[in-house]
Every structure is written in C-alpha cells, then in structure tokens.
Amino acid sequence: MGLCFASLALGIYISMKIFNIPDITTDGSYTLGGAVTAVMLTHGQPGYVILPVVILAGATAGALTGLIHTKLKINALLAGILVMTALYSVNLTIMGRSNLPLINLPSLFSIISLSGNSNNNAFIILVAFTAIVAFLIGYLLKTDFGIAMRATGNSESMIRALGVNTDKMKIIGLALANALTALSGYLISQYQGFADISMGIGVVITGLGSVIIAETLINWLRITSVWLSLTLVLVGAVLFQLVLAVTLSLGIDATYLKIITSLFVLLIVGLPRLTRRAA
Amino acid sequence: MIEINALTKTFNQGQPNEVKAINGINLQIANSEYVIIVGSNGSGKSTLLNLVAGSILPGSGTITIDGTDVSKLHDYQRSKWIARVFQNPLSGTAPDLSILDNFRLASLRTKPKGFGIGVNDGFKAAVKEKIALLNMGLENKTDQLMGTLSGGQRQALTLLMSVMDDCKILLLDEPSAALDPRSANVVMQTADRLIKDFNLTAILVTHNLKDAYTYGSRIIQMAEGAILHDLSSENKTVLTQNDLFSWFS
C-alpha cells in the first residue's frame, strides 16, 4: 500500500520541494485519478486507455491550479483549494455516486499475473510500476529541462534572466505533480477494489509526511544526488504507511487515525528542530 | 547597440503615492561601451536597468537592441542578448543546485532547455577550465552546491556564467554592494576583464564612486528619472575623483 502512495509522494516532492509551491490540489486530483479509473473500468475500457486518461486528467487539474496561480497571481495555496473544491463536484459527476465498487472487474493486478500468490503478484507489479515512474522522473530531473525546473523553485530571478518562462514552468510542474498524484489514485482504487468520493481527504498529508521523512534523511545524510533523493522519497512513502499500520495494529481506534497522522507529521517536522536547539 | 527613446516609467499611476521613476530618457549606447551609472537613491538608475533587462515594462517609449524593438518583450525573452548580475548574490545563482548545473543553465541562456542530458564529461571539463580562470580554487568543487559558497565566490561565478553562452550585453546592478572590500575588488576586476576579453557592451549601476572612477568608458549621472551628466570616454579620462564627488554635493 505504501508503494501505491509512492507516486503521490513523488508528486508532492515535485510541487513542494522543487517548485516550493504548497499544492493542495492533491486531495482532489488523487480522487480524480481513482474516479476516472473506476468509471472506465466499470465501462469495460481496456487498461492501456485508462492509464493515459488518468494521467491527462491529473495533469489538467494541476495545470488549472498553475494557471490560476501564475496568470491571476493568486496565492498557490488558495488556487489549490479552489481547484480541489471544484474537483469534488467533478469527481462526484464522473462517478455518478459517492462509491464505486470494482470487485470482479479486471484490474491492473488481476490482468498481469507474475506470481501465484495474489499478494506477491500485487507487490511485484507495484514495485515495477513505481520503479518505472521513479526512473522517468529521475531522468527528467537530470535533463537540461529538469535542471531549469529545479532552478525555477530555487532562484526565480536567475532562471528568468537565463531565458526561462517561469510561469510556464510552474504550470508544467504542477501538471506533472498532479498527474503523479492521479496515478496514485489509479493504483489505490484498483488495489483496494473501490473508488470513493472521500478517498482523497487528507491525502496531501500522506504525501507531505513521506516527503518530510525523506527530507529529514536527505539533510541528515547530506545527499545531493537526484537519484538518491528520489529513492528516499519512495522510502519515505513506504515508511509512512508502515508507521500508520503499526499504530493501527497496536489497537488504536481507527477514528483517531487522522489525528495520529497529523501528530506523526508534526513529530517528524519538529524533531530535527528540537534536537538542533538542544545541541 | 542599445537605443533608448523617450522612455518613461511611472509606478502607482494616478494614486497619491505616484512615482515618476523614469522621465523621458533618450540614450544611445554603442557596442563595447562600458557605461557606469551613478545617482542617489531613487534617481531611477535601477529602474532604468530593470527596464533594459525587461523585469519591468516601460510606460511609454522604446528600447531597441541591435535594431530589434524589445520594449514589449519579457525578461526571459531578452536573455538572447542580455546577461545579468544582481546586487544580491543569491539572485544570480540557484543555491540548491550544483555549480555544474548552474553553469549548464547559463550555457543555455539563449537556447531552449531540452530533454537531453547536457551535463557530460566534456561539459564538465569545459566548466572546470573556465572556473580555473578565476584563481579561486573552485575548479575542483564543481559538484558542490552553489549555496555552500560565499557571496563573493557566487558573484564571481555569476559573472563567469554570463559568458558561458553568446552574450552581447552585460547588466551589472551593484554587483559588489553586498560584499566585503576584498571580494568586491575581485568581482569588479573580473567584470572588467570579462568585458574587455569578450568585447561586451556593459552597464554598471553603482554607488561606489571609486569604482565609477576606476572602471568604464562612459559615465552617466541620473537624478529624478533623467540624465544629469553624460561623459563619454575622452571626458571621463580627464574627470578626477574630486569632480565626481562634487556631483553629489
């Protein structure tokens, strides 16, 4: 399950760490990914059509946030909230109702059979899927375009003086980030066997938590390599889910799950600062 | 060649805090001229520089570079001609990127940034060679993050970055104002050397009258958004430092 969130974490990593934009669209585009997947599956669309549509849907949502943020000069947080809120209706319209079960429909995990055990099978597929996505993003960040992307969030005055349209770059970046988020929705809805209108609520925290775990590790180990950073983001995503799973297995009421999530993220964010002050 | 015609810029037009920053300036700068602009705070020199760079667009008037009217082009569209060094050392470089990546972007100033991987061994060697010219011992630290360097080192590298790609015009906005005297000297001398070696047209905005006296082939004093003094090379050489001080008294 942690691996399902890996691409979400990569998306948040791109918007938050690379572009320095806190992007809340995530909650909506994640559900959008799930909703599109569910509806297309129930209508018997083949998998190779669903995947690009999901990516495109997520990218459109992200590009909208980007457009609102750059062209209308509206605070990124607010732009994200606006798009996220609007997406709620969009998602509900797409699904037609608040919950769509996908039991007995062919999913990514049932079509491809690499192992007799369905759990192992899902695991292998997810690892492969995540590896491909991470590889593509890693490669992108290494290219000249990728360097320009990283510089956009880092030193806007510099990169404009070097001939990059930063507005365009931010729109592309947010589109990419939300396409990745939608991909997470695509995976999780097939993995869990349903899409739900509220599946995206608070999911941005999951992504943030993963990225922050990764960031703490990156700072700790003084990592500058793009590949290692991306790997740590993936590790962060899995670690985050593990911690939640452990908390639940300790017998804590599931009602408290979200508050525990929040507290956990707070802990990771706060811990390095507290220890630094003590030192 | 830069031609500026009847250029004006007003901030907060029609409001009580209206500022006429540039008040109908006409100016022609020939190729390979090194123009120093001095003037007190609020005289409009930085605004003029930003107008030439395209970070702000003029209220009226035109700016032409090599016969092309660039008045309505944004800064990222003018990078074809113009390289910049900012007052703040942080503005000219990306701190979380390696020196190498910064130079890679600089080498693509006039070109599109594509989906190929451009940082290869050949490029690395070329950057090292360039950086070695600075004599700062930075040539073996190209994988280090830009943010780990001092302001003086970053400013010197920003200068070097501006000649990584075809460059005609160099805009220097008080490049040494945030530096200690020694680093400031290194940066000013590097700038002077690059301008001469690469035959650049350059505009330097400065508050440092000693620099204004030492460097450049032409000096302009601005006041209230207009040009007060304009001395070309013959007249600048006979100008004494005392004359320059008297402009401000």
- Summarize pLDDT for A192-241 with one digit per residue, the tens: 888 888 888 878 888 888 888 888 888 777 777 788 888 888 888 888 88
- Mean pLDDT, all residues of chain A: 85
- Of A244, A233, A261, A192, nearest to A11 by C-alpha is A233
- Between A166-192 and A144-154, two packed helices, what is the crossing angle to 10 degrees? 100
Q: Considering CB atoms only, which of A140, A147, A163 is closest to B109?
A: A163
The answer to whether residues A263 and A208 touch, using CB atoms and an 8 Å cutoff, is no
Taking the Cβ of residue A158 and every Cβ of chain B, the question of whether any pair is shorter than 8 Å is answered with yes
pLDDT in tens, B31-83: 889 999 998 888 888 899 999 998 889 989 899 998 889 988 888 888 888 88
Residue A167 token pair: 């507005």
**Predicted local confidence at residue B203, as pLDDT:** 93
A109 compared with A90, residue with greater pLDDT:
A90
- Of A91, A6, A83, nearest to A54 by C-alpha is A91
Residue A252 falls within a domain, yes or no?
A: no
Chain B interface residues facing chain A, Cβ-Cβ under 8 Å? 53, 55, 74-77, 79-80, 82-84, 86, 90-98, 101-102, 104-106, 108-111, 113-119, 143, 145
pLDDT in tens, A29-76: 999 999 999 999 888 888 788 899 999 999 999 999 999 999 998 898
Residue range B2-97+165-246 in CATH 3.40.50.300? yes
- Of A7, A135, A20, A1, nearest to A76 by C-alpha is A20
Q: Cβ separation of B96 and A150 shorter than 8 Å?
A: yes
Residue A209 falls within a domain, yes or no?
A: no
The domain ranges of chain B are 2-97+165-246
- Of A187, A152, A263, A150, nearest to A8 by C-alpha is A187
Residue A140 falls within a domain, yes or no?
A: yes
User: Is the pLDDT score of A111 beyond 90?
Assistant: no
The answer to whether residues B146 and B179 touch, using CB atoms and an 8 Å cutoff, is no
Q: How many CB pairs under 8 A join A and B?
A: 98
Q: Which regions in chain B score pLDDT beneath 70?
A: none
Domain count, chain A: 1
Q: Cβ separation of B117 and A154 shorter than 8 Å?
A: no
Q: Are strands B34-38 and B201-205 parallel, antiparallel or unpaired?
A: parallel
Q: Which domain holds residue A118?
A: 6-196
Q: Cβ separation of A151 and B97 shorter than 8 Å?
A: yes
Which residues of chain A does B90 touch, with a Cβ-Cβ cutoff of 8 Å? 155
- pTM over 0.90? The answer is no
Residue A226 falls within a domain, yes or no?
A: no
